[in-house]
Chains A and B, each alone.
Chain A
Amino acid sequence: MDRTAIIGVGMTTIEAEKRRETFADMTWEAVNKALSDAGMTIADIDNVVTTSSDFWDGRTISLMAVGDVSGAAEKNVSCVEGDGTYGAFYANARALSGSYKTTLVTGHSKGSQCVSSLITNAAFDPIYERVLGMDMITASAMQANAYMNRTGVKPEDAALVSVKNHGNALKNPMAQLPMNITVDDVMASEMIADPLRKLDCSPVSDGCCAVIIAHESVATKFKQKPIWIRGLAFCTDSFFFGDRDLARSKALTEAAKKAYAMAGIKDPRKEIDLVELYDAFSYQELLWLEEMGLADYGKAAARLKAGEFNLDGALPVNPSGGLLSGHPVIAAGLYRIAEIVLQLRGDAGAHQVKKAKTGLAHGVNGLCGQSHCVWILDKEK
């Protein structure tokens, strides 16, 4: 198979409410930042993949809002609905299929413009479940209970994820919620759905991220040092919670296994230097790390406590502050990819980790991590 690389990234700051910018304005900013990061003009881009959601955007054919500002008017274009990692997956396939050389991929979302509880309630089955009134938070609480019951992990243990990630965000100027907090602060925050407290939950956010993927034949033609795509895979589990083991995530294990195999990674714990993952809720960072094979099942909390996942730990996890510090749905996974790219290039600034040759970025679709997408990126080809 041919090789591809990420040669430019651009992101807006993540904010609670971007009143001055529409979807198009945010995208315009991210696209131009990515182009300038890559040392390209829009004429150097030969096709576009946007990522958006008609539900979250409150608009049928939501891609229509961002086509112009992505430079798509004269180019081939498509749109993936779901997390940005999936949009980028398709963008990468377009570069590998021999049809295109440089794909611009964008992901945008404005949580501030809609009611998250209603939008995520619409992800439940309309005939059997929706009238019961669950949403993303109450569903995730159900998963947290299942996980904690199985592993003996306590809410206080998961709270430490929030403490670490909000702390990391203090060093990331793009993050929405930089905070110096303690486990006691998390445990004293409002209980929303047992065992999830306000500070265990990611916030409502606005933001846009853009990434440029290039085929190897042009990857070194532009200004930026390419970050190579070594492995990527996605996998979807059953829909109904009652069909799945909510305390585990089979689909993530499978996606990670495939991505490692493609990347030629034999021992991920030794070979992966840092992780940016989809911590929409504090417990998820622990569960996802375990299901990716980066910690033993039920043991991530102990390693977190030992400081291993800190910015200066053995395996930094979410040095950017993660979703807990800013969660523009849809764009969130693309931010994870962009963050890993900056880290591997050594361009992450104050939240730069020391050893950064191989990084993992992760995105999620659906409720309680029904579907996962895993990317392995590398400084070297």
Chain B
Amino acid sequence: MAKRVAIVGTGQTFHKSHRPDVNGQELINEAVQRALADADLTMKDIDAILIGNMDHFEGINYVDCWSVDGCGGVMKPVIKITTGGTTGASLAIGGYHMVGSGMFEKVLIIGWEKNSESDTTGAITTAFDPIWDRQVFAGAISGLAAEAQAYMARFGASDRDGARVSVRDRKHAMNNPHAQLRKEVSLEDVLASPMLADPIHLLDVCPRSDGACAVIMASEDSAEKICPVPDWIWGTSAHNTYSYLGDGDWGRLTSMEQCAKEVFKKAGIKEPRKELDVIEMYQPYSFAGLIWIEDMGIVGHGEAPQFVWDGNTDMGGELPVNPSGGVIACNPIGATGLIRCAEAAMQVMGKAEGRQVPDVKFAVSTGFGGCMWTNMLLHGKRKPN
């Protein structure tokens, strides 16, 4: 019989632009120790470990094998899941299935990255097809700029609309001690910051960070014993819709739409705008905060700018998005998707402290990466049926 699965503990490093005082294993260890402490468990309680990052950011082959000293994996099952930017979310989904299978009672899930150790753009460029796309494409920013341009053309949105999202997330980050960038900015600051790729300004995009995140999942057999209010996983979905850059329906995120439909259907959610209480979205740049909530089905196409301007996604609004400050405030890539998951879990568990949204019953976390791919988890306070 398949088991229901819940998150019972989370831990994060204090993410920074670079961490010269620790190597990768030692960075991982900080997050793991915090997650164990949060769940009041020791390494002996852990039955398996899932770990992931992006190989070419640190240049370490077989990271699952190399990292065992830091992650506590000596003489335990350790497996690596790597899917690019979605890695952190893919790991969370992996943990869900490993526990759900009944093969492991408690698993430790770790996403990490030391982006300071390499040239992030150079490494990302090698993601694209070596014979076709790689020759003409540089880093992640050009794909995102193409998406923003298409959206603006289709729905008449402006760069001010994007900037509003950045202002929101950077304000939210003030409440999150783990965030790397904690500095409020104004609309004017965003619009006056250097233009990276039309219409994206420097303050519209995420930084690169050193950081790690660890999440502990347990089956229904022990979740409630470990934790008074576990975060139950109601459903997961991962869609890698495209493989070549030219294949995308630019201005829409098809993979987000596929994930949302699937996950909401599983949980019987019909009106996500009303039924969800908070969203932690892997939103690497501001315009995604408009486009992707439309594809998620929160509002109709072209309606996001007004929805965001009206304050609905701010703290205290109808449906707060990224109380943590999101990816714009901090982006250790292999950890980023798992941080979204951990933050959503903390919201459900009531452990989000200064960034807590009141009475969260349902939360969504997402991962983004690859060639416009989306991963999604639905988190809930109530145990799934």
Q: What is the interface of chain A, defined by CB distance below 8 A to chain B?
A: 1-2, 53-55, 58-61, 63-65, 67-68, 72-82, 86, 89-90, 92-99, 119-120, 122-123, 125-127, 233-240, 250-251, 254-255, 365-367, 370-371
Contacts and interface: CB of A to CB of B under 8 A. Distances in A.
Interface stretch (B178-186, B239-247, B268-276): B239-247
Contact of B76 (A67, A236, A239): A236
Given A54-B82, A60-B54, A61-B369, A2 B2 contact: yes
B79 A96 contact: no
A123 B75 contact: no
Contacts of B61: 53, 55, 119-120, 122-123
7 contacts: A1-B103, A54-B82, A58-B130, A60-B123, A79-B82, A126-B58, A239-B67
B68 A93 contact: no
Given A61-B83, A93-B103, A235 B98 contact: no
A262 to B, nearest CB: 8
B243 A82 contact: no
- Chain A CB count within 10 A is highest, among B23, B54, B126, for B126
Contact of A82 (B67, B76, B80, B97): B80
Interface string B39-64: 00000000000001011101111101
A370 B364 CA distance: 37
Contact of B60 (A1, A122, A234): A122
Interface of B: 1-3, 23, 52, 54-56, 58-62, 64-69, 73-84, 90, 93-94, 96-103, 123-124, 126-130, 236-243, 258, 262, 369-371
Given A2-B1, A76-B237, A238-B68, 9 more contacts: A2-B2, A64-B84, A81-B55, A93-B100, A98-B2, A127-B23, A236-B75, A239-B65, A365-B65
Nearest to A234: B77
Nearest to A76: B238
Contacts of A236: 64-65, 68, 73-78
A251 B60 CA distance: 22
- Which residue, of B23, B56, B65, B237, has the highest number of chain A Cβ atoms within 10 A? B65
Given A60-B56, A64-B127, A233 B100 contact: no
A119 B61 CA distance: 7
A64 B244 CA distance: 8
A61 B370 contact: yes
Contacts of B124: 60
Contacts of B129: 64-65
A370 B65 contact: yes
A1 B104 CA distance: 11
A237 B78 CA distance: 9
B366 to A, nearest CB: 14
B100 A98 contact: yes
Max count, chain B CB within 10 A of own CB: residue among A119, A123, A371: A371
Contacts of B58: 126
B56 A234 contact: no
Given A64-B371, A73-B242, A92-B101, A123 B77 contact: no
A235 B77 contact: yes
Contact of B240 (A67, A81, A234): A67
Contacts of B3: 97
Contact of A93 (B65, B101, B369, B370): B101
Q: Which 8 residue pairs spanning A and B have beta carbons closest together?
A: A98-B2, A97-B100, A366-B65, A96-B101, A61-B84, A54-B55, A93-B101, A122-B61
A367 B90 CA distance: 26
A90 B94 contact: yes
Contacts of A371: 64-65, 78
B377 to A, nearest CB: 12
A64 B124 CA distance: 13
A204 B16 CA distance: 41
A53 B371 CA distance: 17
Contacts of A367: 62, 65
Given A60-B54, A238-B68, A82 B60 contact: no
B133 to A, nearest CB: 10
A238 B77 contact: no
Contacts of A96: 2, 97, 100-103
A54 B87 CA distance: 13
Contacts of A1: 1, 101-103
A239 B52 CA distance: 17
Given A54-B82, A82-B64, A238-B74, A99 B100 contact: yes
A355 B138 CA distance: 57
B65 A126 contact: no
B240 A63 contact: yes
B64 A365 contact: yes
A77 B97 contact: no
A59 B98 contact: no
Contacts of B371: 64
A234 B68 contact: no
B77 to A, nearest CB: 5
B284 to A, nearest CB: 15
Given A1-B103, A89-B79, A73 B240 contact: yes
Contacts of B239: 74-77
A80 B81 contact: yes
Nearest to B91: A78
Given A96-B103, A123-B61, A236-B73, A90 B79 contact: yes
A179 to B, nearest CB: 30
Nearest to A121: B61
Interface centre among A58, A75, A94, A250 (most CB of B within 10 A): A94
Nearest to B100: A97
Contacts of A235: 75-77
Nearest to A120: B61
Contacts of A251: 75
Contacts of B65: 123, 236, 239, 365-367, 370-371
Given A93-B98, A99-B97, A238-B69, A81 B54 contact: no
